[in-house]
Every structure is written in structure tokens, then in C-alpha cells.
Amino acid sequence: MNAISTEEQRALHVSIPSRIDVARVRQDFPILAQQVHGRPLVYLDNAATSQKPHRVIKAEARYYAEINANIHRGVHTLSQQATESYEAARDTVMRFINAARREEIIFVRGTTEAINLVASSYGQRLVPGDEILISEMEHHSNIVPWQLLCERSGALLRVAPIDAAGELVVEEFERLLGPRTRLVALTQLSNALGTITPIRELIALAHAQGAKVLVDGAQAIPHLKVDVQALDCDFYAFSGHKIYGPTGVGVLYGKAALLDVMPPYQGGGDMIKQVTFARTTYNDLPYKFEAGTPNIAGGIGLGAAISYLDRLGLEAVAAHEHALLDDATQRANATPGLRLIGCARAKASILSFVVDGVHAHDVGTILDLEGVAVRTGHHCAMPVMEHFGVPATVRASFAVYNTHEEVEALFAALGKVREVFA
């Protein structure tokens, strides 16, 4: 068994008391007040997308109502205000993940685009025989771009296995690293299992072999404190919509020294310095990677979401979510016929399970009738399903606004599933 690193222990938040006033927090999220099928909505599909607080909704609405204009190129007042708000959001992101420079924050559509950007741009330096190392628990967004890159470049994709608990087998990961490993791409928190990977240790191991590391932070970003300088990752990707922000906006962090020498990902407006038919020169960072009019409202909304989460305090949020996960795990272990998928020692926010003799989709449908929203399916992680020999799981995932009463409601609704399928 792998030893639990101090990073993982910290991530368990066992000693940090929850200081979240959940009733107060819930008032910030207008959608939570509604009923579904005549029952109070119990929203436990946060790993797919989180709900949005008033602050985010207002920030987007304010942009359209008061300062809507295209950014960067305008001399008029609205354009300048829009540019200032958008660039302020970049600064908020920079501080939130402790990037060294604002130029290292590239706005993209989301995690998927961030990973594709690195695969397309950084990937151009890969040659036949080079290797890319990922893990068995990756989301399809952190598998397929590398398969495409392998097809283009002749590089080989290597996959580090997970064990029966859903933990990465670090010794195998280390064994698969070699002098031909150019890129390592790993999740910090598995969306299908809830496993927290010992990412700092894995990054150090990869760097020792001279490989660059991309961290898929889509799930980690709302739950774990991320410090890209302390992690020393080369790239970090996340989506706005999983951190209480809008859809259609996300972030690629990259070390400036790498981004500087990488070729552009897309061509168009904003990413150029000068265009002639003979030759085009490219803009400075971060704009070199931001071709075309971006999701301006989304960027501003993402800044508002991060400020909101910052004000609550990520440690307190994580402690609250951990208490919910503990509660749910204990109830799950005491429920006959329910099998947890993913029992890693370091987990956050995600409870994935199957119910004996009932397809996950049927479980999800019955829970929905009880007002409980969960995700069912392969969670865009088909290799994980294959590993555990199941076609699909039911996934309940927690956010800051969830309560212990909602955990109770989930298990009461699971009782209905048993009644229906008795």
C-alpha cells in the first residue's frame, strides 16, 4: 500500500472544524429554494456542475446591462470598463492559485479546452517514441487529447494503474516514468471515485525524469487549496462552472517560460501583434493563446465566483464537505446491498456507488422523483468503470451549500429504491 502523504492528510481536513453557516450560504443560491416533483430540491450533482450564487449571476447580468462592449481594442469608456473587469478577473484567478504572474493565466472555455490547448501546442515538440503518462482514473478529457496527440506524433500513451480502493499505484507510476516520458497528465481529484492523488509527490517524480506535468484540476479546484508554485506543476487546468462560476469559461495556468516558447493554439483576433500576408507576429502572453472575442461575461463571473469562495474560506468549505462525505460514507457502509466504488484513504466530496441488482440509471430516476439530483453513468471515465467491472455508478457529490439533512434525504430516497426493487 502507498503511504498517505502529508498533502493527502491535510486534504482530509480532519482537524479543521466546519465554520460554514450553511443556512446563510443557501440563501446565496436562488436555485436551491425550488421544488422538484413536489419535493425540496436536494442537489447532489456538484461534480458535474455547481450552482451559482447571486454574486455570480449579478456580475454577469451587470456586464450585459451596464458595460457590455468588446475588450482590449476599444478606446471608448464601455470597452475600457469591460477590459478592466475582465482583466481584474484574471488577477483574481492568479491570486487564487498563487501563480507568479498574471501572464500565466490563460482564459479558455474549460478544462477540456485547456488540455487540448497543451496537447495541440506543447504537443508539437513530441516525436515518435516519446511517451505520455496518464493514470487509469482520468476523465475522458484527460485521455482523448493525448490519444489524438499520439496519433499525430507517433508518441506512446502509458497508463499508470489504480488499485482495488481506487488509489493510484505510485510504484507502478514510478516504474512507467522513463527518459522518454515527455508529458505526465494527472487528475488531482478523480471525478468518478473521489480519490485525491498525491499530486505534489507525483509531480516531483515526473520532474526527476525531465517530464512536464499537466494537472487536471477540474474537480480539485472547488475543494482543495491549490498553489501552483508550491505544486511546481507546469500546467494546471480547471473549469469555471465547477467552482460556482459560469459555464463556457475556464483557466489554463502554465509556467511563463513554457508558454512563451509554445506555438499559438488558434489564430485570429487578439493573439496577433502584426499581420501581413507575408508574416504574422504573435501577441505577448496571455493573449497569444486567447484568439477571438472571449467569454467576457463568463470571465467576469468566474472572478466573482472565486471571490465568493475566498470569502467563505476554502479550508472551512472543505471541512464542511468532508463532514458530509464522512456522514454519507458511514450511512453507505451501513446500507445492505450498496457497494461503494472508490474507497481511497484520501477522498473529497464524491460518493460513488452501485446498488445490487438495480441499474444506476434506475436508481437515479427514482431519486429524482424524491427530489434528489445525482449523476448516474460512466462519468466520462469508462476505464474506471471497466476497472471495477460495473457499467455505471450512482454519484452523489457535495458542495458548500449541502446539509446533513440532505445526506439523510439521499439515504431515505435510496430506501425507496429498495422498496421498488424488493
Ligand X SMILES: Cc1ncc(COP(=O)(O)O)c(C=O)c1O
Q: Which residues bind ligand X (CB under 6 A)?
A: 110-112, 139, 141-142, 187, 191, 216, 218-219, 239
User: Min. distance of Cβ 419 from ligand X in angstroms?
Assistant: 32
Give min distance, CB of 346 to ligand X, in A: 16
Q: What angle do CA 356, 362, 366 make, to 5 degrees?
A: 110
Task: Let me know: does 363 contact 355? Beta carbons within 8 Å.
Answer: yes
Minimum distance from residue 261 beta carbon to ligand X (Å):
25
Q: H/E element holding 181?
A: strand 181-187
C-alpha to C-alpha distances, 329 to 176, 346, 406, nearest whole angstrom? 33, 13, 14
Instruction: Name the residue nearer to ligand X (CB basis): 141 or 295.
Output: 141
- Nearest distance, CB of residue 349 and ligand X, angstroms: 11
For the record, the C-alpha cell of 246 comes out as 459560469
Provide the minimum distance between the beta carbon of 377 and ligand X in the complex, in angstroms, as a whole number.
Answer: 11
**Packing angle, helices 296-312 and 54-62, rounded to 10:** 150
Supply angle C-alpha 376, 187, 124, rounded to 5. 120
Q: Sort residue 371 into left (φ over 0), alpha (ψ -120 to 50) or beta.
A: left
Contact 131, 156 (CB under 8 A): yes
Minimum Å gap between C-beta 281 and ligand X is: 31
Which pairs count as long-range contacts for 58-64, CB under 8 Å and 24+ apart, including other chains? Answer: 58/304, 59/300, 59/301, 59/303, 59/304, 60/246, 60/297, 60/298, 60/300, 60/301, 63/296, 63/297, 63/300, 63/301, 64/297
CB burial of 346-356 (b: ≥16 within 10 Å; e: otherwise) equals bbbbbbbbbbe
How many Cβ atoms from other residues are within 10 Å of residue 95's Cβ? 12
Amino acid at 281: T
User: Are the C-beta atoms of 251 and 93 separated by less than 8 Å?
Assistant: yes
Cα–Cα separations (whole angstroms), residue 61 to 25, 126, 135, 163:
21, 44, 40, 46
Q: At CA 208, angle to CA 207 and CA 209, rounded to 5?
A: 85
User: What is d(CA 213, CA 230) in angstroms, rounded to the nearest whole number?
Assistant: 14
Q: How far is the CB of 258 from ligand X (least distance, A)?
A: 21
| Comparison of 20 and 215: residue with beta carbon closer to ligand X | 215
Tell me what percent of the chain is helix, strand and coil, each rounded to the nearest 5.
45, 20, 40
Q: Which residues are catalytic?
A: 380
C-alpha cell at 410: 439521499
Nearer to ligand X by Cβ, of 219 and 352: the residue is 219
DSSP states along 75-108: -SHHHHHHHHHHHHHHHHHHHHTT-S-GGGEEEE
**Smallest distance from ligand X to CB 397, Å:** 10
